[in-house]
């Protein structure tokens, strides 16, 4: 074969690969927003946070989220490392619901249930980069996605955006917005960073101290679907009203924590949780507009090869996913997640990191 022809064939395959990567017509790239020694990298594949870099008490920069080195691994991921979640984060029981007399059958991707928006939820699609300011006083990136009527079984077209912005030391603001264009639909957006504020490669989080500002949880049945009961944490291993080590009572719970808390605050921007790691001196404070937070201790992360070849194991991170109550669409006593056309949905999360020298 002449070298010209093989070059052409080669080019054809490269173009083909690029096209395959741009399912919705956009290329998959990595973007960094940076403010001094604070940096966040995201990819438009799943609007995913890839890394969050900031110093520890000795000034040493560390990456405080679990993740992978390549987009290929993100595509293959089943843990939702760093990804945006939607159209409805968490589980919808039986992958179905009835809205205004119409019954909707959704794509089940976890047994009979739908988890995190289905097989091709917002974590598995390519988003469009709308705005990108890499550095300066207010670095930010806005990604958008158009979810079509019927996608994964949901009614109506929906446009969503997520904005990641760095504010003064060391605030990371995450704002999700959505609009239903033509039909009422459940919407609840969240994201799934696996935090290890001691460093993604520092081992488990069991000695980190957590405080969750919630007196109640929404217990689950054997299918991981809320029973509908809102039950007090008092005198249970779920009580984190006062700061406690993650590992202090984790052995009392099969596999570890994976539960939704109903936040106590009635303010718009609610205090969610504080996580503190003595070794690095890093503290993370979370506030959000959502009524609930899922506390998950990475129980099903087993022998997962991550960044720099580091292998993640159970409890090597914790997730605090702020959200509407799981399966709200099937529980009339839970706050509604239905968004009607013309109304907009907003969910803001603010992560504040501080570095304590003592």
Ligand X SMILES: *[C@@H]1O[C@H](CO)[C@@H](O)[C@H](O)[C@H]1NC(C)=O
Binding residues for beta-D-galactose: 90-91, 192-194, 258
Count of positions on this chain that bind ligand X (CB under 6 A): 25
**Least distance from ligand X to the Cβ atom of residue 249, Å:** 28
Q: Which of residues 315-344 bind ligand X (CB under 6 A)?
A: 324-325, 328, 334-340
Q: Out of 167, 224, 244, 249, which residue is the one contacting ligand X (CB under 6 A)?
A: 167
266 binds ligand X (CB under 6 A): no
100 binds ligand X (CB under 6 A): yes
Distance, CA of 300 to chain centre = 16
Find the catalytic residue in 151, 152, 283, 321.
321
80 binds ligand X (CB under 6 A): no
58 binds ligand X (CB under 6 A): no
Q: Is 321 designated active site?
A: yes
Q: Is 192 designated active site?
A: yes
Find the catalytic residue in 192, 200, 331, 347.
192
Q: Out of 296, 315, 350, 353, which residue is the one contacting ligand X (CB under 6 A)?
A: 350
Q: Out of 37, 135, 168, 221, which residue is the one contacting ligand X (CB under 6 A)?
A: 168
356 binds ligand X (CB under 6 A): no
127 binds ligand X (CB under 6 A): no
**Least distance from ligand X to the Cβ atom of residue 351, Å:** 8
69 binds ligand X (CB under 6 A): no
Q: Out of 291, 315, 322, 331, which residue is the one contacting ligand X (CB under 6 A)?
A: 291
Q: Which of residues 169-228 bind ligand X (CB under 6 A)?
A: 171, 184, 188
Q: Out of 29, 110, 264, 285, which residue is the one contacting ligand X (CB under 6 A)?
A: 285
73 binds ligand X (CB under 6 A): yes
Q: What is the 3-state secondary structure (H, E, C) of the chain?
A: CCHHHHHHHHHHHHHHHHHHHCCCCCCCCEEEEEECCEEEEEECECCEEEEEEEECCCCCEEECECCCCCHHHHHHCCCCCCCEECCECCEEHHHEEEECCEEEECCCCECCEEECCCCCCHHHCECEEEEEECCCCCCEEEEEEEECCCHHHCCCCEEEEEEEEEECCCEEEEEEEEEECCCCEECECEECCCECCCCCCCCCCCCCEEEECCCEEECECCCCCECCCCEECCCCCCCCCCCEEHHHCHHHCCCCCEEEEECCCCCCCEEEEEEECCCCCEEEEEEECCCEEEEECCCCCCCEECHHHCEECCCCCEEEEEECCCCHHHCCCCCCCEECCCCEEEEEEEEEEEECCC
Residue among 95 and 286 whose Cβ is closer to ligand X = 286
Residues noted as catalytic: 192, 321
Binding residues (CB under 6 A) for ligand X: these are 72-73, 76, 100, 167-168, 171, 184, 188, 285, 287, 291, 324-325, 328, 334-340, 345, 350, 352
């Amino acid at each position: 074969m002449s070298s010209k022809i093989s070059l052409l064939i080669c080019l054809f395959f490269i173009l083909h690969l690029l096209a395959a990567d741009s399912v919705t017509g956009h290329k998959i790239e990595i973007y960094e927003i940076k403010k001094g020694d604070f940096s966040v990298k995201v990819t438009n594949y799943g609007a995913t946070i890839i890394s969050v870099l900031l110093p520890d008490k000795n000034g040493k920069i560390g990456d405080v989220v679990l993740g992978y080195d390549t987009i290929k691994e993100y595509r293959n991921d089943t843990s939702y490392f760093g990804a945006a979640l939607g159209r409805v984060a968490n589980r919808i029981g039986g992958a179905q619901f009835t809205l205004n007399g119409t019954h909707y059958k959704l794509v089940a991707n976890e047994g009979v249930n739908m988890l995190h928006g289905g097989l091709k939820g917002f974590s598995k699609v390519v988003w469009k980069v709308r705005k990108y300011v890499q550095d300066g006083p207010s670095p930010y990136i806005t990604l958008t996605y158009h979810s079509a009527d019927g996608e994964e079984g949901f009614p109506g077209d929906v446009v969503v955006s997520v904005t990641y912005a760095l504010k003064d030391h060391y605030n990371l603001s995450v704002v999700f917005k959505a609009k239903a264009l033509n039909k009422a639909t459940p919407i609840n957006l969240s994201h799934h960073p696996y935090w290890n504020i001691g460093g993604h490669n520092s081992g488990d989080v069991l000695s980190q101290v957590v405080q969750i500002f919630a007196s109640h949880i929404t217990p689950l049945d054997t299918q991981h679907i809320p029973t509908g009961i809102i039950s007090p944490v008092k005198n249970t291993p779920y009580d984190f009203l006062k700061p406690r080590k993650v590992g202090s009572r984790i052995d009392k719970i099969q596999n570890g924590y994976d539960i939704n808390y109903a936040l106590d605050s009635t303010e718009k921007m609610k205090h969610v949780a504080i996580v503190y790691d003595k070794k690095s001196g890093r503290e993370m404070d979370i506030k959000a507009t959502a009524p609930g937070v899922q506390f998950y201790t990475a129980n099903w992360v087993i022998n997962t090869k991550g960044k720099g070849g580091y292998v993640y194991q159970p409890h090597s991170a914790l997730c605090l996913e702020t959200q509407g109550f799981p399966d709200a669409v099937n529980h009339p006593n839970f706050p509604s997640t239905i968004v009607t056309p013309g109304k907009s949905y907003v969910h803001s999360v603010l992560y504040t990191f501080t570095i304590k020298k003592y």
